[in-house]
Amino acid sequence: MSGGVDSSVAAALLKQQGYEVIGITMNLSCSSGASNRGCCSISAASDAQKVADQLNIRHYILNFKEEFKKQVIDNFVEEYKNGRTPNPCVRCNQFIKFDLLLKKAEELGAEYMATGHYARISQGGEGYKLLKGKDPKKDQSYVLYRMTQKQLAHTLFPLRDLTKEKVRKIAKELKLPVADKEESQEICFVEDDDYGRFLKEKVPEAVRPGPILDRNGKEVGRHEGIAFYTIGQRSGIGAHGRKKYVVDLNVRKNAVIIGDNSDLLKLELTASRVNYLSGRAPAKKLEISAKIRYNSPAAAAELSLLKGGKVKVLFKEPQRAITPGQSVVFYQGDEVLGGGIIEKGGK
Count the residues in the chain: 347
Distance, CA of 14 to CA of 328 (rounded, Å): 32
Element (H, E) at 346: strand 335-346
92 is catalytic: yes
CA separation (Å) from 15 to 57, 98, 158, 192? 9, 21, 11, 35
**Does the annotation count 39 as an active-site position?**
no
**Cα dihedral 176, 27, 277, 18 sign:** negative
**To which H or E segment does residue 57 belong?**
none
CA distances from 214 to 208, 219, 275, 300, 326 (A): 19, 7, 36, 31, 24
For the residues of 65-123, what is the DSSP string, one character each?
HHHHIIIIIHHHHHHHHTT----HHHHIIIIIIIIIIHHHHHHTT-S-EE---SEEEEE
Catalytic residue among 30, 40, 89, 92: 92
User: Could you give the CA distance from residue 93 to residue 145 in angstroms, rounded to a whole number?
Assistant: 9
CA pair distance 1, 182, nearest whole angstrom: 15
Name the 3-class secondary structure at 321.
coil
Q: How far apart are CA 68 and CA 26, in angstroms?
A: 10
Say if CB 236 and CB 212 are below 8 A apart: no
How many C-beta atoms lie closer than 10 Å to residue 253's C-beta? 13
Q: Is 154 in contact with 113 (CB distance < 8 Å)?
A: yes
Contacts of 142 by beta carbon, 8 Å cutoff, 6+ apart: 291, 294, 327, 329, 339
Select which of 39, 40, 89, 188 is catalytic. Answer: 188
DSSP conformational letter for 9 = H
Q: Which residues are catalytic?
A: 92, 188
